[in-house]
Amino acid sequence: MKKIFILMAALMVWAGALAQVPRAEYPRPQFEREAWVNLNGEWSYTLDLVKTGWERNLKDSKGFDDKIIVPFAPESKLSGVEHKEFIPCIWYQREISIPAAWEGKDVLLNFGAVYYESEVYVDGKFVERHFGGSDSFSVDITKFVKAGSTHSLVVVASSDLRSGLQSAGKQSLRNDPFECMYTRTTGIWQTVWMEAVAPTGIKRVKTTTDIDRSTVTMEFTMFRNATGNTLTINVKDGAKVVATDTAPIASGSIVTLPIKKAKLWSPESPFLYDVEYILKDAAGNVIDKVASYFGMRKIHTEGNKIYLNNQPYYQRLVLDQGFYPDGIWTAPSDAALKHDIELSMAAGFNGARLHQKVFEERFHYWADKLGYLTWGEAPSWGFDANNVESARNFIAEWRNVVVRDMNHPSIVTWTPFNEQFWPDETEFPRFQADIYTITKQLDPSRPINTVSGGVQTVTDIWTEHHYEQNPDKLREIVFNNGKMFTRAPQIQERHRGNIGFNRAVLNDPFTFPVYNGEIPYILDEFGGIKCMEANPAKDGAWGYGDAAQTKEDFYKRLEAQVKVLIDMSDKMWGFCYTQLTDVMQEQNGIYYFDRGSKYDMERVKAIFQMALPTENK
């Protein structure tokens, strides 16, 4: 009885300690190991506004004077800092203790994301440098640490947001937020964590499902090869093993398993198969074990329609920018990620265009679990797409994003760019074609919306943006020979000062491709309706076009706009409404920025789920 009491007390202490760690959940749910340590929580830090930290040997620090809560950016309230000015450089420090049980294992230090250029030091020794503000990366610190010992970890993050060489997304390039540009995110903004891995363990698995042949194929990348290592794969439906195989393993090994009577993944039935990867050495010892999952589903285009699991599937999407009042780019909790999806589904959407931000893996996990379609997008605003160095930076980061997220069944489209408007005689058409080709080579299973609402020289889906508020005029301008650039001068004015728009030649008429009807057309930005009754006027408040005066006006305008699009379903195979929530001064969300209720959601849901003409027959 005494032992049980002691065990219960210990568990309570552990649970209490865990509760103090922000974002304590496992950050990579599609590739999960048991041996890991969450490094979120209080770190020491110092701002380095003139970037002299290297001269002052800050890498050797055993602790800075000020405190910050990781993984929240220093601009955010949840970080405890709230420094809203530009931050060219920030240094972080904390101690890390390597568990004694990790003896003989490699130790990986993992970062969900750090904006933008980062360097890692252990006990003052340089370990590795990373470029990219949105992609996850791992640093092997095995040579710099010892099992059972404590070490000083220093991370420095640098950002030159207005250089035009790094993608910024919706981070304001002015000092303050304005219109649809918001507070910046600098430094660590996703979970930092350590894990122990076998030197010859599994580094990565690419999973491809084929519903036509009822198979799943896994392609393996190992940290190192070892003769005699074997891998057992168990695919489970609940507790039942429905497919299994054991075979020698090495980098490049490909295993294909039949999935009899496969249960398909869809928004209506988001079924997921669990997977166990068990790696053994030549002596039969288990040296690595990874838990994963996959969904059997197929997404493809055919003619002017998009198909899910070989059936035409109309997409009713919402623009989700992934900003939070207290965390900015970082959700305050795992529950908040799930809640955003639930709010969207309650409003009648079956998915989202994840706009100008790479969402964290936990969001994709919840989308997989709940049955929620998403378009994965890069934060492509803010960089000069005609500059060779910025193109190189973008390609490297985008590649990492696609490789990280390609196994999620909920992601059904890749969208590298948004509203890039360069016409002929620039580097961008070539850059666009390169990104399309690279993405297809990495992941041929999904369609690509190469430039959402911009100059599209090569794409699988044609997309346009129209914020005309009058429904009759909206009907007239959609499919107007692809000439969605009638509002380009306004776009130029709105983004004056944003690198990446300055070099755009926005004189009418334009030389650009036009829609030919041979691929799916989606109006992937429309609406943006601001309602004065829901959001009383205040300085800086912003929305598209003339605001609706009352909530009743809002409902009527929304219904009329959606009906225009639904009536065109013979030509248009989906839409994306702007937007899920208000974001700071942009007040055109279905919900308030704090996720509070703004409208009668049953009425809103009925509008967005309006039946297609073919469904009424």
In a domain, 8, yes or no: no
Query: pTM for the whole thing?
Result: 0.92
Structural domain including 66 reads 20-197
Asked if 73 and 112 sit in the same domain, the reply is yes
Average pLDDT over residues 283-287: 97
In a domain, 12, yes or no: no
Asked if 264 and 165 sit in the same domain, the reply is no
Asked if 251 and 312 sit in the same domain, the reply is no
| Cα–Cα distance, 398 to 396 (Å, whole number) | 6
End-to-end CA distance of the chain: give it in Å, rounded: 69
In a domain, 1, yes or no: no
State yes or no: pLDDT of 532 exceeds 60: yes
Q: What confidence score (pLDDT) does residue 261 get?
A: 95
State yes or no: pLDDT of 593 exceeds 50: yes
Asked if 278 and 362 sit in the same domain, the reply is no
- Among 136, 168, 197, the domain-final residue is 197
| Cα–Cα distance, 230 to 233 (Å, whole number) | 10
Average pLDDT of the chain to the nearest whole number? 91
Q: What confidence score (pLDDT) does residue 512 get?
A: 61
- Here the CATH number for the domain that contains residue 249 is 2.60.40.10
- Among 260, 294, 328, the domain-final residue is 294
Asked if 473 and 496 sit in the same domain, the reply is yes
For the ranges 28-32, 72-76, 488-492, 560-564, the lowest mean pLDDT is seen at: 488-492
Q: How many domains does the chain have?
A: 3
In a domain, 378, yes or no: yes
State yes or no: pLDDT of 8 exceeds 80: no
Question: What one-character-per-residue DSSP string does 218-284 give?
Answer: EEEEESS--TT-EEEEEEEETTEEEEEEEEE--TT-EEEEE-TTPPBB-SS-B--EEEEEEEE-TTS
Question: pLDDT digits over 192-237, tens only?
Answer: 999 999 999 999 999 999 999 999 999 999 999 999 999 999 999 9
Asked if 593 and 558 sit in the same domain, the reply is yes
- Kind and range of the H or E run holding 382: none
In a domain, 450, yes or no: yes
Asked if 600 and 556 sit in the same domain, the reply is yes
In a domain, 6, yes or no: no
Asked if 119 and 256 sit in the same domain, the reply is no
Asked if 167 and 243 sit in the same domain, the reply is no
In a domain, 48, yes or no: yes
Cis peptide before 311 (omega within 30 of 0): no
* CA nearest to 435, candidates 405, 394, 406, 407: 394
CB 386 within 8 A of CB 428: yes
Token couple for 257 = 């398993």
- Here the CATH number for the domain that contains residue 400 is 3.20.20.80
Asked if 37 and 92 sit in the same domain, the reply is yes
Asked if 176 and 210 sit in the same domain, the reply is no
Q: What confidence score (pLDDT) does residue 425 get?
A: 53
Asked if 290 and 323 sit in the same domain, the reply is no
The sign of the dihedral angle between the CA atoms of 504, 178, 353, 207 is positive
